[in-house]
Amino acid sequence: AHPQDLAGRRIVVSAGGTREPLDPVRFLGNRSSGRQGVAIAEAAAARGAEVTLVAANLEVPDPGGCRVRAVSTALELRDAMTEAVAGADVVVMAAAVADYRPATVSEAKIKKVDGRDHMTLELVRNPDILAGLGASPHDGTLLVGFAAETEADPVRLLELGRAKRRAKGADLLVVNRVGWTQGFAADENAVTIIGPADEVVAEASGTKMSVAHGILDVVAARLPDGDE
Ligand code: C5P
């Protein structure tokens, strides 16, 4: 049994990776499986929290005990988050959100053109959802962001995480290294959690479930005393 140290808390977790449509049959996507975010949602529910999972194209089953809002694109994810975060004690942005989306979505399947060997796609910026939450008033809501970086040097990896926490206005930032075989689809993970003064608050490694509990240990310790 887990400690019920999140009882009475409302936690919103985004997980998975967004898909940005090009036409009715194609999209631009990423390799995020949703495993780490789903593990956080499941672990939070096991610790007594009331959890809303905003789920973008998960490759794993929905966790039990959570309210699930399925989305696909970055804009849908933003709208679902905006609705879900009202009154939340904790927001964990674990989803991999596309930075850009196709400028236009074709109504019909895009055809290849004989004799044309190159094609250029025009993309436009997506809103930064976490930065948007960080920049607007969020008193009483602990904001947790993620940084998935391919940087191999651990010192530079931490620096990227610190800069990201500040840029996004997050309270905590979870840094993990990703690559072709590391991070996204893997069963295990290793993360470093950076705090509000840019300090390393904790490190966690092992299964994504044990990393989830490690992250929630830090979250639980930082919540103001509740009335439970
Ligand atoms: O800038 P970068 O994508 O590395 O930042 C990662 C963090 O920001 C993650 O917490 C991710 O969920 C969030 N993010 C976001 N909206 C975006 C891009 C990233 O909320 N458009």
From the CB of 27, is ligand 1 less than 6 Å away? no
In 3D space, the residue among 45, 1, 16, 43 whose CA is nearest the CA of residue 207 turns out to be 43
- pLDDT, one tens digit per residue, over 95-144 is 999 999 999 999 999 999 999 999 999 999 999 999 999 999 899 999 99
CATH, residue 161: 3.40.50.10300
**Pocket perturbation via mutation, ligand 1, pick of 30, 31, 71, 128 by most ligand atoms within 8 A of CB:** 128
Residue 149 has pLDDT above 80, yes or no: yes
Residue 170 has pLDDT above 80, yes or no: yes
DSSP-derived secondary structure letter, 17 = B
- What pLDDT does 177 receive? 83
- The CA distance from 146 to 93, in Å, is 6
- The reply to whether 114 falls in a domain is no
What is the count of structural domains for the chain? 1
- The reply to whether 112 falls in a domain is no
Interval between CA 74 and ligand 1 midpoint (Å) = 10
- The reply to whether 143 falls in a domain is yes
What mean pLDDT value characterizes the chain? 94
208 is in an annotated binding site: no
User: Contact, 44 vs 216, CB < 8 A?
Assistant: yes
- What 3-state DSSP class applies to 149? strand
- What pLDDT does 180 receive? 67
Instruction: Report ipTM (2 d.p.).
Output: 0.98
- What pLDDT does 75 receive? 98
- What pLDDT does 181 receive? 65
Its domain, for residue 129, covers 10-98+122-222
What average pLDDT does range 192-210 have in this prediction?
95
Interior CA angle at 200 toward 199 and 205, to 5°? Answer: 165
- The reply to whether 115 falls in a domain is no
57 is catalytic: no
| Ligand 1, atom 9, residue with closest C-alpha | 146
- The reply to whether 169 falls in a domain is yes
- pLDDT, one tens digit per residue, over 13-34 is 999 999 999 999 999 999 999 9
